[in-house]
Structure 1
Amino acid sequence: MVAMSHFYTKPATHNGYFLGTRNLLVKIMGERRDVPLPQRGWDPIVILVKSQHPGNLGAVCRAMMNYGFTKLRLIEPQCDITCDEARNRAKHAGSILDEAGIFSTWEEAVADCNLVIGTSGKREHGPKTVFRHFLNPWDVAELGPENGGKIAIVFGEEGMGLSTPELTKCDLLMTLPTWEGYPIANLSHAVNTTLYEIHRHHILVQGSSLGVADHLQLDRTISPEIRKLLRQAIREFGYSLTGDDKRKETYSTLLTRVIMRGMPLDIEAHRLLGAFVEATTAMQKQAGDADWQKKRRKRLNVTDESSINIPFQIYEEE
């Protein structure tokens, strides 16, 4: 079933003629209810203490849904969580609002949690640092799979943050590595940044799974065969340039280092192969090399960019 926008749009017309139904059914951008949630093995419970602004609350829900998190608990919310502002800011993550747990005390909210992580932008200096040793979001992302169970990440109320007594109740503390000149982030931004790091860690460590975008390239290594071919193509290109052998070798090495530092994927390297073959052939022809056609035929066959599984002739590097 096609998801419908809650906004009404008129059919598109031009000079009185109906152009079609493209505006009658508006598929919500990014909403794919048929996609399962990511299978991480652990999911943090986001806890908000005394939320003041329904807009922020809705934005938190949206950030959670963006990365496939759904567990939200509220301690003494100070705003109407069912109001239109909260719902509108949540967009299509309203289900998180509907299912959020409401608690009157801190103790009730974390009673079933194995680990409680408090957040704060107030990074103390001097002797107080012994009581406020902060983790970064990526540290939390790494310890989650090791700990398992129910891990709560607690965010304080807007403008105040968690109080010292509340921070004392936490097992660990986390902060965002913000600029010291303005370290306090907006509540929804802080939640978004934290959950992004956790989701990113899941992708990098566990790889593709249910709910993770299938277009994400997880393997950043180039295959040995493609690497060898690319280095050869770069070297042939470099030696087609003008100048002495030392200059040509310098350019070949420089190009190789710059390209490999970018960690190209196999398909990217394959397309670079085609470009280097074309450029090398053109320069040899321009230079009046009588054997340019013969050399091209002997060179790598990289004209089909739609596949990287092409029979290449591999020449040994000198």
Structure 2
Amino acid sequence: MVAVAVVDATEPGNVGTIARSMKNFGLSDLLLVNPPELDPEGEAYGFAGQAREDVLPEARELTFDELVAEYHTVGTTAVTNEDATKHVRYPFQTPAELAEDLAGIEAETAVVFGRERVGLTNDELARMDQVCSIPASADYPVLNLGQAANIVCYELRDLTVEETQHPDERHERADQQAVEGLNEQFGEFLEDIGHPEEKRPKAKRLWRRFVGRAHPTGREARTLRGIFRRAGQRIERAENDDTE
């Protein structure tokens, strides 16, 4: 249900450390975007512990575009914004809050970690559905990649144990293709209503985060898309009437 994705890591040992953390806490699906070479005789496998037997060799390499298209994405960052006026890294959840939020959600989710030195860029975070940040001392809030992954994997451990909920209590989130379709429909709606072009990227980012936290069902996604589509058609008819 929950995968771990690492974007642009440069140190093989960090990839191995993350694989080991995943193995410790019951996670097995490792996704790698532009990874370093992972030599079976090198640091990655040396740091992976027992994860060298399954998690690391079975890791899947993919592009960033494929990652955001196929998964409900949660971007992790140490640097956050504390108010809604600067929204690329806001709102954010702690790892514990994230685990509670994802519990009971039927969705292919990827928790995404960035580069060792700079993490995920603003452009990459803007394409994430949710943001997660680890609360740390204001004097030195930056954790290294392995530390961050270890903390997040630990908090997500309850999602890897045997299900205890009754099936009727589960929230069946729309698949990622339907969610992306809803996001695209909202973008078209902004065009239809003449929302200022320079403000559209911000509006679409806010909408993505809103939908990311809401976890809409398939029916909810279809209903919202239908509303946006009908609104656009009505606007188009009204514009045509005005030109006649």
CA shift, 1:186, in A, is 1.3
Does structure 1 retain, via aligned residues, the 8 Å contact 2:68–2:127? Answer: no
Percentage of pairs with the same residue: 32
Distance 1:130 1:53 in 2: 27
DSSP-derived class of the 2:104 partner = helix
Deviations 1:199-252 (A, max 9, x none): 14767x949xxxxxxxxxxxxxxxxxxxxxxxxxxxxxxxxxxxxxxxxxxxxx
Does structure 2 retain, via aligned residues, the 8 Å contact 1:138–1:201? Answer: no
TM-score of the pair, normalised by structure 2: 0.61
Does structure 1 retain, via aligned residues, the 8 Å contact 2:26–2:160? Answer: no
Deviations 1:63-84 (A, max 9, x none): 000011100000011x211251
Report 1 or 2 for greater relative contact order, CA contacts < 8 Å, sequence distance ≥ 6: 2
Q: Name 2:73's counterpart in structure 1.
A: 116
Q: Does 1:92 align with 2:50?
A: yes
Q: Does 1:62 align with 2:20?
A: yes
CA shift, 1:181, in A, is 1.2
- For the pair shown, the structure with the greater C-alpha radius of gyration is 1
Q: 1:141 aligns with which of 73, 83, 99?
A: 99
Unaligned runs of 5+ in 2: 166-244
Letter paired with 1:111: A
CA shift, 1:111, in A, is 2.7
Letter paired with 1:68: G
Q: Name 1:154's counterpart in structure 2.
A: 112
Deviations 1:10-61 (A, max 9, x none): xxxxxxxxxxxxxxxxxxxxxxxxxxxxxxxxx3110000011111111101
Q: Matched residue pairs, number?
A: 162
Letter paired with 1:122: V
DSSP-derived class of the 1:146 partner = coil
Question: How has the CA–CA distance of structure 1 residues 51 and 181 changed in structure 2, closer, same or farther, with 3 Å as cutoff?
Answer: same
Does structure 2 retain, via aligned residues, the 8 Å contact 1:117–1:174? Answer: yes
Question: How has the CA–CA distance of structure 1 residues 130 and 193 changed in structure 2, closer, same or farther, with 3 Å as cutoff?
Answer: same
Question: How has the CA–CA distance of structure 1 residues 81 and 122 changed in structure 2, closer, same or farther, with 3 Å as cutoff?
Answer: same
CA shift, 1:172, in A, is 0.6
Q: Name 1:15's counterpart in structure 2.
A: none
Residues 31-42 of structure 1: matches in 2 within 5 Å? none
Greater helix share, 1 or 2?
Answer: 2
Q: 1:80 aligns with which of 37, 48, 53?
A: 37
